[in-house]
Amino acid sequence: MISSKNEGSAVRPRNIMGSPNYAARLVKVSKAYGPTRALDQLNLTLDRGEILALLGPNGAGKTTAVSVLTGTRRADSGSVELLGGSPRNLAIRRRIGLTPQESGFPNALRVGEILRLVRAHYPAPLADPVLFDRFPLQPLLRRQAGGLSGGQKRMLAVALAFAGAPELVFLDEPTTGLDVDARRALWRAIGAYRDDGGTIVLTTHYLEEAEALATRVVVIHGGRAVAAGSVDEIRGRVGQSRVRFDGEAPDNLPSATRIERSDGRVTIYTQDADALVRAMVQRGVAFANLEVQPASLEEAFVEITGGGTQ
């Protein structure tokens, strides 16, 4: 499945089960849809116990990367390894969970029936008390899926990913369209799974979500991994802080990594906001309504991908 000489690294230590200490790995995986290169020699290693957020603009290749990892699409070239085997292997698939991107359930089936069906595919699924403690679905069990609200469907979709108590969970846009309370409830459930030692791959448009959950972020752009690191490291790429004020933007300020101007409001990204403000005061720069904030991941992300479509 996997080339033993990639990255020039030594043979990775293996546990007694004979499976590697990473949960999944893509090596030089390419995938094209006609003329569109969705993945371009993508390398990606998923460590056990981490929550990896895949970020990137629409069409960057995030969903394709997940599809290749879960075996729903075949790679044109490169090697794919999931939990020490092939994603198309049934024994391997019993150990993963995922949530569909669109929450389209069989409309006529009840929530309880869907949970039962999905859990039947796993050797040791979550028991009702644990499942309902994390996902408050109990009042909905007798409701048909077609009659659920968007938020309830999302909750069910995410619960299905965890219901089988898998080792590895793929969450594709898990909280799209949820209100703040529902989103935080889902984040708590995901956190509980992480605390149990579970591994998660998360694709998301919500950078706040990656900031709240991810232990590591990989930014995908044009089918390649263009940046990887902790949320803080990714943010550090563009500057730790964002300084905003009304006025004229001076040139040659120390430690300014990027300057934006719009409607008389200036935004400066910097590694050192204190030094920047001090320099502005010393030079007598006129400013009003000064605001200093930590830069968001979103801004880092726009910087890295050269202004994606977000």
Provide the binding-site residues for another protein, judged by CB under 8 A.
33, 70-74, 90-91, 93-94, 96, 98, 100-109, 113-114, 116-118, 120-122, 144, 160
Residue 104 or 254: which CB sits closer to another protein? 104
On whether the CB atoms of residues 229 and 198 are closer than 8 A, the answer is no
CB of 16 to another protein, least distance (A): 24
**Nearest partner of 257 among 274, 279, 272, judged by Cα:** 272
- Cα–Cα distance, 183 to 200 (Å, whole number): 17
Minimum separation from the CB atom of position 223 to another protein (A): 15
Question: With contact defined as beta carbons under 8 Å apart, do 216 and 186 qualify?
Answer: no
Nearer to another protein, 108 or 288 (CB): 108
Of 30, 38, 37, 51, nearest in space to 211 by CA:
51
Nearer to another protein, 119 or 183 (CB): 119
CB of 161 to another protein, least distance (A): 10
Which DSSP state fits 131? Answer: H
In the bound complex, what is the minimum distance in angstroms from residue 43's beta carbon to another protein? 21
Place of tokens 């965890």: 162
Alpha helices in the chain (DSSP H): 62-70, 90-93, 111-119, 128-134, 150-163, 180-195, 207-213, 231-238, 273-282, 297-304
**Beta carbon nearer to another protein, 163 or 300:** 163
> How many whole angstroms separate alpha carbon 186 and alpha carbon 180?
10
Name the residue nearer to another protein (CB basis): 68 or 220.
Answer: 68
| Of residues 71 and 229, the one with the C-beta less far from another protein | 71
Regarding beta strands 51-55 and 199-203, do their DSSP bridges make them parallel or antiparallel, or are they unpaired?
parallel
Shortest distance in whole angstroms from residue 251 CB to another protein? 52
Q: How far is the CB of 92 from another protein (least distance, A)?
A: 8
Nearest to 303 by CA among 39, 213, 275, 295: 295
Nearer to another protein, 140 or 300 (CB): 140
The span from the first CA to the last CA of the chain, in angstroms, equals 35
In angstroms, give the least distance from the CB of 117 to another protein: 5
**Assign residue 258 a region: left if phi > 0, alpha if psi is -120 to 50, beta otherwise?**
beta
How far apart (Å, rounded) are the C-alpha atoms in residues 283 and 268?
Answer: 16
CB of 55 to another protein, least distance (A): 22
Question: Which is nearer to another protein, 110 or 235 (by Cβ)?
Answer: 110
